[in-house]
Amino acid sequence: MNLPLWSAVDDYWTTKLHDPDDALDTASAASAAEGLPPIAVTAPQGKFLYLLARATGARRILEVGTLGGYSTIWLARALPSDGELVTCEVDPHHAEVAAANMARAGLDKVVDVRVGPARDTLASLEGPFDFAFVDADKTSSAEYFRECIRLVRPGGVIVVDNVVREGTILDSGSTDGSVMGTWRLADAIASEPGVDATVVQTVGSKGYDGFVMAVVR
Ligand code: SAH
Ligand code: DHB
Ligand code: MG
């Protein structure tokens, strides 16, 4: 599902509300040239994450799933100059491309790309973080979410990407690992007294999907 209309509307609002952005364009182009899959958040989604992190007054941000660092650039820009963003990436090539993109964007002092399975990196981290964005392997989103609850301060925000999956999460017989991972995430959030959460369904140039947004109590 990916209506041309959805992309056209993304283009309309991006043209209206976003400044031309060499760092983001260069990061996207470099990621494509290096063979990374085209699965980064869209520009409006990136700006949404940036605005949320800014509104939270974030000084420390955690990201799970870096890819080429497109969402990382958006999020890091919400930070003050002495802020910090830790981003977890299992694929060394993705991490290398992301590190180069951070340097070109002038964000390499703020962003720390940690290479390795996110479970190990998360277990080694200490809070408090103000904001977390979970966007790695969907099979483990529930575990990443639980770690984020440990690491994010009360009043902080946790966003999880790709929780609607073109509505396939409603196929109760699904054996898809990402769908099953999303069910486990939903159960984990529903049984977690430590957060208030909801879903934001999205359409756009990446099709039909959605975010979970949670605030830590
Ligand atoms: N947040 C990025 C997109 C991330 S795509 C953006 O919007 O720009 C998902 C990334 O998670 C991929 O780069 C993939 O290699 C990484 N990933 C997959 N499994 C992982 C794991 N177990 N630990 C850390 N990263 C993982
Ligand atoms: C995929 C991963 C993502 O994080 C996303 O936003 C879209 C697609 C994927 O692995 O296919
Ligand atoms: Mg995603």
Q: What is the pLDDT along the chain (217 residues), one digit of tens a residue?
A: 779 999 999 999 999 999 999 999 999 999 999 999 999 999 999 999 999 999 999 999 999 999 999 999 999 999 999 999 999 999 999 999 999 999 999 999 999 999 999 999 999 999 999 999 999 999 999 999 999 999 999 999 999 999 999 999 999 999 999 999 999 999 999 999 999 999 999 999 999 999 999 999 9
Q: Where are the domains of the chain?
A: 3-216
Phi first, then psi: what are they for 213, rounded to 5°? -120, 130
How far apart are the C-alpha atoms of 6 and 179, rounded to whole Å?
23
Q: Where are the alpha helices (DSSP H) in the chain?
A: 4-17, 22-33, 43-55, 70-76, 92-104, 118-124, 141-151, 177-190
Ligand 1 atom closest to 69 (CA): 8
Global confidence as pTM: 0.98
Query: Of the bound ligands, which one is closest to the alpha carbon of residue 178?
Result: 2
If you ran DSSP here, which 8-state letter would residue 79 be given?
S
User: In terms of CATH, what superfamily is 3-216?
Assistant: Vaccinia Virus protein VP39 (3.40.50.150)
Report residues whose beta carbon is within 6 angstroms of any ligand 2 atom. Answer: 39, 135, 161-162
Dihedral, CA of residue 213, residue 140, residue 32 and residue 79, to nearest 10: 40
The rounded Å distance from CA 64 to ligand 1 centre is: 7
